[in-house]
A and B are shown apart, each in its own frame.
Chain A
Amino acid sequence: MATTLTINGTSHDVDLPGEVPLLWVLRDGLNMTGTKFGCGVAACGACTVHIDGEAVRSCQVALEDVWGEVTTIEGLGTPERLGRLQAAWIEHQVAQCGYCQSGQIMQAAALLAETPQPTDAEIDEAMQGNLCRCGTYPRIRAAIRAAAGMSQEG
């Protein structure tokens, strides 16, 4: 039985069992590969997307439980029309391998939507679920502060 999802403003019919996690619906069902698989147990944040604006781990949300409109990294902007955070990420040359960065950016977008001028402690709190094995955290922090229109000092 097909399920209908709204992703990045477009409606998609998905013919997969209801228990398949949203992550695998996106990646393997719809070939939307910007959202990454890292762990499958909500321990790394690589699969972070938004449902009705809330940052969620898409590996933990079954297709049948998706409760609202989905936004993925592809919906935040494109190389030609960058989103605000994506532009800040490029300005600060954040990515190394880049694999975790879709999730980092989606998590940061949800943070700024709720807290437009986050303190360092609020950045720590919001971002600590997102693992980066390359160690790009200092530049992620700088990019978030820049996107928030804040100075780089404290």
Chain B
Amino acid sequence: MASIGKIARRTFLFGTAAIAGGAAFGAWYVSRPAPMPLTSAPGRTALNPWIIIDETGVTVVAARAEMGQGVYSTLAAMAAEELDVAWDQVRVIHGPPAQAYFNGAMGGAAIPTPEYQQSAFQHRIGDWLEVIPKVFSMQITGGSTSTRDGFDKLRLAGATAREAMKEVAADRLGLRRSQLRTEGGQVIAPDGTTLAYAELAEAAAGVELGEVPLRPRSEWTLLGKTLPRLDMPAKCTGTATFGIDVRPEGLRFAALRRNPNLGAGMRGFDASAAKGMAGVEHVVELPDGVAVVATNTWLAQQAVNAIEVDWEPAPYPETTEAIFEAIEAAFDTDPNSTMRDDGDVTALPAGAQVIEASYRTPYLAHATMEPMNATVLFTGDALEIWAGNQGPVIARDRAAEAVGLDPEAVTFHTTLMGGGFGRRGEFDYVLQATHVAKAVPNVPIQLSWSREEDMSHDFYRPAALTRWRGAVADGGAVMLDGQIAGQSCSQQAITRWMGFAPGGPDKTHVEGASDQPYGVPAYRVRGHIADLAVPIGFWRSVGASGNAFGLECFMDEMAHAAGTDPIDFRLALMRGEHAPSAAVVEAVRDMSGWTGRTPDGVGRGMAFSMSFGTPVAEVIEVVQEDAGIRIARAWIAADVGVALDPGNLEAQLVGGMIYGLSAAVQGQITFAGGAVEQQQFYDYDGLRMHNTPAFEVQVLENLGHISGVGEPGTPPAAPALANALFDLTGRRARSLPLNTEFDLLV
């Protein structure tokens, strides 16, 4: 079977080598190349869909969307590394929706075995599975896959572009390509003659090359270093354009109200009070709500709130407790998955001590700082859309369908996003703006949600209940058996996106529990899917966000039952199973000065989780103060295989942990009368300056392949905090958020 992987790899290289003729993407598809998404204009040559070179310089087309994770800059650095252009010469734009920008790494993540167990053979199969997202046009930013997906593609794009321009220069100068070198956006001959890329690019587009090798790491000048983010000056001067900031000529502003009973329709409404209000121009009925178009967003908000609406009731139980009863009942159903089934969990060695615990995690909102919004102009035969989004192909296609146009009639601009966290992989807000624009043709409409609408109409991180049973003997774990009950994100979201539910076991439902590098002799995890209509979606770190809480708190409970230090307890299970994971645990132990003992008034806890292929270990120190329990310090160790931008990696790991801590301390979405109770940042708050701990971060590179970092910092945060609170107080936290049981400083 090894030859399959070899062929796949070679095809990939040859396919990319033929880039200039526009055949670059043949290797990425099963049988035929994807259409070229960027057409060439005179004087502006699309060498391939990732790089444009013209008289103004080099522009890297980022097929992944910038939502704060720094991908704009990291993808650009990959291309620039091979292209030999100075960092301050590089510009980045978001690519248009196009099949050629599919995210291959998302398909790789569909392999059923745990990431850390994937042998070289399975990694090659992962390459083959890249055809799956291609078929579905998954131009998606998510799953911490952007650097993993782009690492080879963008460097090859840069190298191919460079060699093609050298080929043109060699031809013009009567030299061989090997005699030329490149630097600062120029080809340089041995006698010092220089030819700027801009002079060569158009001719270079016709050049066909053989295999172009990538530079070894030892020759990197940009990658591996902390680079100033390209989007930083604009974001610090108020000049960055987010979706909510686009201002096409003649723009009108819209606000909406949707049924607070999520997913239910509207019986009718009376807008007579709204119609006479200042600035109001139109009232537009939507499938599950109503919108007002006005001269100003605030005036539209006032008017839409004056509309009387008769809503249909919720299609799910009306209270949080009734919803959790339905989740609990799922334990009595056949498991959807048994993603881990090592050894025999029913056969225990003599003298083994059995312990059990149940954990509860709530629904969570994404709560991006920029509320959902989209701007749409409908002209009868065309749509123009401006929206921050994590999946432009699907959003474009659904918007086109809604107005009866072909996708080709849509011009789609992906803007910067004021946070994504998974929320902007959905297209609901784009579709609503499209409906409003259709009702008011030839006028660009910006539909912005109020914070209340945003908080109460999310696709929430699903709530879950987890039952863990384990056994310890001789100071170590001998059995681990988990059952997880909750809704399936994948089934619901993929039904929304693709129109059908994928069958079979749902890996994401149990990830963070079933796929951890613990060599417990008997280790089983079963997932039970609760069939509920509460809207749910992908939330930063997805399944691991909640499942790591149960597993890692339970590991702590087992360690204490075994009389073993929680770090030693984990290391004993990891060392023979996955050395890089053991190394991050050792790193966090050493950097935090972990002794297993803490003075009175101080507690420490540790947790580990490997998500999206990246192992992360975190230690938290809590301190009892007069005002409450302060999260004082945090340590993070992670292994990303290849550390491309140390400064950005630190920012993502810290930010990911703060996102997880924000939820762990006070995040919960609850229901009453079918509606979400939380409406604002005062009842769904996050950590702030005064209760954020001091951080230390260490990044390791033992994995053997590159791995992403946007999400993996999040899952260990909640269990590390819960374990620290146990160390401080002697009380076990088995339910989130933690401020319901502990006097945390908020």
With an 8 A cutoff between CB atoms, is B87 at the interface?
no
With an 8 A cutoff between CB atoms, is B274 at the interface?
no
Check if B659 sits within 8 Å of A20, measured CB to CB. no
How close is B709's CB to chain A, nearest CB, in angstroms?
12
Chain B window 372-404, contacts with chain A (Cβ cutoff 8 Å), 1 for yes, 0 for no: 000000000000000000000000000000000
Partner of B657, one of A17, A39, A135: A135
With an 8 A cutoff between CB atoms, is B220 at the interface?
no
With an 8 A cutoff between CB atoms, is A57 at the interface?
no
Interfacial chain A residues near B245, Cβ < 8 Å: 33
Check if A24 sits within 8 Å of B236, measured CB to CB. no
Query: How many Å lie between the Cα of A136 and that of B236 in the bound state?
Result: 13
Query: How many Å lie between the Cα of A46 and that of B296 in the bound state?
Result: 19
Q: Is the interface of B mostly helix, strand, loop or mixed?
A: loop
Partner of A133, one of B235, B369, B651: B369
Within 8 A of B (CB), among A89-136: 89-90, 93-102, 105, 123-125, 127-136
Check if A28 sits within 8 Å of B298, measured CB to CB. yes
Check if B369 sits within 8 Å of A96, measured CB to CB. no
Check if B450 sits within 8 Å of A40, measured CB to CB. yes
Check if B234 sits within 8 Å of A79, measured CB to CB. yes
Partner of B688, one of A16, A29, A137: A137
Check if B647 sits within 8 Å of A97, measured CB to CB. no
Which residue of chain B has the shortest Cβ distance to A74 in the bound complex? B238
Query: How many Å lie between the Cα of A149 and that of B235 in the bound state?
Result: 23
With an 8 A cutoff between CB atoms, is B686 at the interface?
yes
Chain B window 679-705, contacts with chain A (Cβ cutoff 8 Å), 1 for yes, 0 for no: 011100111111010110000000000
Interfacial chain B residues near A137, Cβ < 8 Å: 658, 687-689, 692
Interfacial chain A residues near B297, Cβ < 8 Å: 24, 27-28, 37
Check if A90 sits within 8 Å of B70, measured CB to CB. no
Interfacial chain B residues near A43, Cβ < 8 Å: 451, 680-682, 685
Check if B655 sits within 8 Å of A82, measured CB to CB. no
Query: How many Å lie between the Cα of A38 and that of B244 in the bound state?
Result: 11
With an 8 A cutoff between CB atoms, is A11 at the interface?
no
Check if A41 sits within 8 Å of B236, measured CB to CB. no
Interfacial chain A residues near B233, Cβ < 8 Å: 79, 82, 90
With an 8 A cutoff between CB atoms, is B654 at the interface?
yes
With an 8 A cutoff between CB atoms, is B69 at the interface?
yes
Given A86-B236, A90-B233, A141-B689, A100–B369 Cβ distance below 8 Å? Answer: yes
Check if B655 sits within 8 Å of A134, measured CB to CB. yes
Given A24-B297, A95-B231, A97-B417, A90–B369 Cβ distance below 8 Å? Answer: no
Check if B237 sits within 8 Å of A78, measured CB to CB. yes
Within 8 A of A (CB), among B230-285: 231-242, 244-245, 247, 253, 278-279
With an 8 A cutoff between CB atoms, is B229 at the interface?
yes
Interfacial chain B residues near A132, Cβ < 8 Å: 369, 686
Check if B67 sits within 8 Å of A97, measured CB to CB. yes
Check if A133 sits within 8 Å of B686, measured CB to CB. yes
Which residue of chain B has the shortest Cβ distance to A73 in the bound complex? B238
Query: How many Å lie between the Cα of A89 and that of B70 in the bound state?
Result: 15
Interface centre among B235, B245, B451, B695 (most CB of A within 10 A): B235
Chain B window 466-478, contacts with chain A (Cβ cutoff 8 Å), 1 for yes, 0 for no: 0000000000000
Check if B238 sits within 8 Å of A38, measured CB to CB. no
With an 8 A cutoff between CB atoms, is A9 at the interface?
no
With an 8 A cutoff between CB atoms, is B535 at the interface?
no
Q: How many residues of B contact A (CB 8 A)?
A: 68
Query: How many Å lie between the Cα of A105 and that of B239 in the bound state?
Result: 13
Interfacial chain A residues near B226, Cβ < 8 Å: 93
Check if A17 sits within 8 Å of B278, measured CB to CB. yes
Check if A89 sits within 8 Å of B236, measured CB to CB. yes
Given A24-B296, A27-B297, A135-B658, A37–B238 Cβ distance below 8 Å? Answer: no
Within 8 A of B (CB), among A1-48: 16-17, 20-21, 23-24, 27-29, 31, 33-41, 43-44, 46
Partner of A97, one of B68, B371, B656, B680: B68
Chain A: interface size category: 35 or more
Interfacial chain B residues near A105, Cβ < 8 Å: 236
A-B CB contacts (within 8 Å), total count: 198
Query: How many Å lie between the Cα of A68 and that of B170 in the bound state?
Result: 65
Query: How many Å lie between the Cα of A21 and that of B516 in the bound state?
Result: 51
How close is A119's CB to chain B, nearest CB, in angstroms?
12
Check if B659 sits within 8 Å of A131, measured CB to CB. no
Check if A82 sits within 8 Å of B237, measured CB to CB. yes
With an 8 A cutoff between CB atoms, is B299 at the interface?
yes
Check if A16 sits within 8 Å of B655, measured CB to CB. no
How close is B586's CB to chain A, nearest CB, in angstroms?
24
Check if B237 sits within 8 Å of A77, measured CB to CB. yes
Interfacial chain A residues near B154, Cβ < 8 Å: none
Given A33-B247, A135-B655, A20–B299 Cβ distance below 8 Å? Answer: yes
Interfacial chain B residues near A39, Cβ < 8 Å: 451, 680-681
How close is B441's CB to chain A, nearest CB, in angstroms?
21
Which residue of chain A has the shortest Cβ distance to B294 in the bound complex? A28
Given A135-B658, A137-B658, A127–B236 Cβ distance below 8 Å? Answer: no
Check if B659 sits within 8 Å of A135, measured CB to CB. yes
Given A20-B298, A93-B651, A79–B239 Cβ distance below 8 Å? Answer: yes
Query: How many Å lie between the Cα of A32 and that of B58 in the bound state?
Result: 30
Check if A37 sits within 8 Å of B371, measured CB to CB. yes
Partner of B659, one of A23, A33, A133, A138: A133
Query: How many Å lie between the Cα of A39 and that of B659 in the bound state?
Result: 19
Interfacial chain A residues near B695, Cβ < 8 Å: 138
Interfacial chain A residues near B296, Cβ < 8 Å: 16, 20, 24, 28-29
Query: How many Å lie between the Cα of A118 and that of B419 in the bound state?
Result: 30
With an 8 A cutoff between CB atoms, is B367 at the interface?
yes
With an 8 A cutoff between CB atoms, is B48 at the interface?
no
Interfacial chain B residues near A86, Cβ < 8 Å: 236-237
Interfacial chain B residues near A100, Cβ < 8 Å: 369, 418
Query: How many Å lie between the Cα of A124 and that of B691 in the bound state?
Result: 8
Interfacial chain B residues near A76, Cβ < 8 Å: 237
How close is A25's CB to chain B, nearest CB, in angstroms?
8
With an 8 A cutoff between CB atoms, is B205 at the interface?
no
Interfacial chain B residues near A79, Cβ < 8 Å: 233-234, 237, 239
With an 8 A cutoff between CB atoms, is B368 at the interface?
yes
How close is B402's CB to chain A, nearest CB, in angstroms?
26
Interfacial chain A residues near B235, Cβ < 8 Å: 95, 98, 101
How close is A152's CB to chain B, nearest CB, in angstroms?
11
Given A46-B369, A95-B236, A138–B231 Cβ distance below 8 Å? Answer: no
How close is B114's CB to chain A, nearest CB, in angstroms?
28
With an 8 A cutoff between CB atoms, is B228 at the interface?
yes
Query: How many Å lie between the Cα of A129 and that of B205 in the bound state?
Result: 53
Interface centre among A31, A33, A34, A46 (most CB of B within 10 A): A33
9 closest Cβ pairs, A-B complex: A34-B238, A135-B658, A99-B418, A98-B235, A97-B68, A73-B238, A96-B68, A124-B690, A33-B245
Q: Known contacts A73-B237, A137-B658, A138-B654; can you find 8 more A-B pairs with CB under 8 A?
A: A37-B244, A74-B237, A95-B232, A95-B236, A96-B70, A134-B68, A135-B656, A141-B689
What residues make up the interface of B, taking CB atoms closer than 8 Å to A?
Answer: 67-70, 226, 228-229, 231-242, 244-245, 247, 253, 278-279, 295-299, 301, 367-371, 416-421, 448, 450-451, 647-648, 651-652, 654-659, 662, 680-682, 685-690, 692, 694-695
A-B contact pairs, 27 of them (CB 8 A): A28-B295, A33-B244, A37-B244, A37-B297, A38-B681, A40-B450, A41-B451, A43-B680, A43-B681, A43-B685, A74-B239, A93-B226, A95-B232, A96-B70, A97-B416, A98-B68, A98-B235, A99-B370, A100-B369, A105-B236, A127-B688, A127-B689, A131-B688, A133-B419, A134-B369, A134-B659, A138-B695
